[in-house]
A and B are shown apart, each in its own frame.
Chain A
Amino acid sequence: MADGAPETTELTLGLIPIADVAPVFIAIERGLFEAEGLTVTTEFAAGGAAAIPALQAGDIDFAFGGYPSTYKAIEAGIPLVITQEAVRGADLFGGFYALPDSGIEGPADLAGKTIAVNTLNNIVQMTVQIHLQEAGLSLDDVTLVEIPFPEQVGALELGNVDVISVVEPFGTIARTSLDATLVVDMFSGTLDGFPVAGWQVTAEFAEANPNTIAAFNRVLVEATDIAVNEEGALAAIVPTYTSASEELAATLNYPNMVSGLDVGALQAVPDLMLEQGLLSDAMSSADHVIGN
């Protein structure tokens, strides 16, 4: 790994204002970036879809985003490189929920139902498909409706959909405000610990900035360790950069925040995308990480 002085010291990070990126804000608060000679600015992107063009434009240097968007962009000819993992699925980080009196209690009850997903053809839909398959069903047996996460709990209450598929904090909100039934834990069974999101840069940036990336990675390793192991660190930092209340931040189910790069584990993403037809050709995750 590169240990020299960072080539680029002023970095702009493209983030989504959700709990997943807590290590970045822990690192900022505790001066970990400064200790590596880095100055970071954060820009909020509304999602990976906005972050990737901003990366291409050179407006942001590092983007936090879900892997399916990354691999689809790579297949579309946009040279992106994953520099580090950030988030993997954890218990109750995501879930499918139904109204308590709906009689929908497990994946087998999903046949014929209308399911809300935040975006079609992304990771949530992939998990829906897997859980359906394991119950002997397929996507043809359900109707998918595109509804953004923040509006799904309302749609469930109003009866617009039978089942919602949300990540935190909306699972906690559905449980507390509607007493919703957990139909399936999104990242359970074969999806236990499934890689969800990580950090990416353009291939051009990666080539020109090996030391910067190494320094950035060291910071995130340390900050992630704090996020995961220091009691109360997450609940304290999350309300500072999201609009979540302190009560909510203290109760929600956090994802499994990880650091480092496990190419073997990452491979599960393009493999599943290929199997489900979201990629047209096999892709090796090892070809699209730093150092290659």
Chain B
Amino acid sequence: MTATAPRRPLALPTSWVRGVVGVLVMFGFVELLTRAELVSADYLPPASSLVGESFGLLDDGNFWSAVGTTLWASFYGLVRAILIAVPVGLLLGLSKRAYRAAIVVVELLRPIPSVALIPLAILQFGLGTPMKAFLATYACLWPLLFNTIYGMKEMDEVGVDTARAFGLGGFRRALRVNLPAASPFIFTGVKIASSVALIVVIAAEIVAGGGGGLGVEIGSARLSGNVKLSYAYTLVTGVIGILLYIVLEALERRLFGWNRIGQADGR
């Protein structure tokens, strides 16, 4: 960790301005494409009308229940993945033997796209939240697992040796030294996994259906030939992704500021 240049916390004003400029350019581009009739407005409604349609959704109870269903399945899937991947990652990061034994299985499972598991997941869990959460857990396992393992490998040896000198056994050492030291890496894994969870849950909802959710609404809008509504839901999904990112980014600054300014005291 000491070798990497310390990153400054995001300088808010400029990054916000740049972000807004980026959005406006994209907005103008889509608006131009459709207004110039390069793309038929039947298939890509102008950005301005999409934004209007999206705001219209906010009054719709159906919309909020869809957001709730999707976020709940994503969250449930993510938390379960954390509970599995972090302990396993700690073990694999600590023990070379365990790592060698497990890596083949991990590399075998990892390339399987979670959408390919949808039919199996439906058979096992039906169409509802458990099915979606299962797929999200599966997809989230890998970034979390690898980030935990890498975090363990980047361990400051002095800290570990100190703990050893104080007579801390393997398990307590893992919990008191390795886990806190690896936590910034793990949190990066959580950030990646949180958007993965959202993507997988919505994909499952589009492909399979279910009791509700943003993907079900997107699919239903498609089936009714309501292109604008389908895009509006898609846009909202993107906005939720950004909000999620902002929240996690803020949480990271708060929790792991010590890591960024290089003051790991090991507590």
- Residue ranges of A at the interface with B (Cβ–Cβ < 8 Å): 14, 16-18, 41, 43-46, 49-51, 53-54, 56-60, 148-150, 153-154, 157, 169-170, 173, 177, 242-245, 248
Contacts and interface: CB of A to CB of B under 8 A. Distances in A.
Given A43-B209, A45-B208, A46-B207, A54 B126 contact: yes
27 contacts: A16-B209, A17-B223, A43-B128, A43-B211, A44-B211, A44-B212, A44-B219, A45-B210, A46-B207, A50-B122, A53-B123, A57-B122, A57-B125, A59-B125, A59-B126, A59-B131, A150-B225, A153-B225, A154-B43, A169-B224, A169-B225, A243-B220, A243-B224, A243-B226, A243-B229, A244-B224, A244-B225
Given A57-B125, A59-B126, A46 B225 contact: no
Nearest to A16: B223
B29 to A, nearest CB: 20
A43 B125 CA distance: 14
Contacts of B212: 44
B162 interface: no
**A18, A149, A150 — which one has the most chain B CB atoms within 10 A of its CB?**
A150
A154 B42 contact: yes
Nearest to B131: A59
Contact of B206 (A46, A51, A170): A46
A56 B127 CA distance: 11
B159 interface: no
A45 B43 contact: no
Given A17-B223, A154-B43, A245-B226, A44 B122 contact: no
Contacts of A51: 209
B210 A43 contact: yes
B225 A170 contact: yes
A242 B209 contact: no
**Contact residues of B: prevailing secondary structure:** helix
B122 A54 contact: yes
Contact of A17 (B131, B207, B220): B220
B49 interface: no
Nearest to A58: B126
A169 B119 CA distance: 28
A149 B211 contact: no
B33 interface: no
A45 B220 CA distance: 10
B156 to A, nearest CB: 49
Contact of B209 (A18, A45, A149, A157): A45
B125 A46 contact: no
A46 B208 contact: yes
**B119, B128, B230 — which one has the most chain A CB atoms within 10 A of its CB?**
B128
Given A54-B126, A59-B127, A44 B225 contact: no
Given A44-B210, A45-B208, A46-B209, A54 B127 contact: yes
Nearest to B122: A53
Nearest to A57: B126
Interface string B62-88: 000000000000000000000000000
A242 to B, nearest CB: 4
A17 B224 contact: yes
B216 interface: yes
Contacts of B119: 49-50, 53
B208 to A, nearest CB: 5
Nearest to B206: A46
A46 B122 contact: no
A49 to B, nearest CB: 8
Given A45-B208, A243-B230, 9 more contacts: A14-B209, A18-B223, A43-B209, A46-B206, A50-B209, A54-B127, A153-B42, A243-B226, A244-B225
B168 interface: no
Nearest to A239: B224
A248 B222 CA distance: 14
Contacts of B127: 14, 43, 45, 50, 54, 59-60
Nearest to A150: B222
A57 B124 contact: yes
A169 B223 CA distance: 8
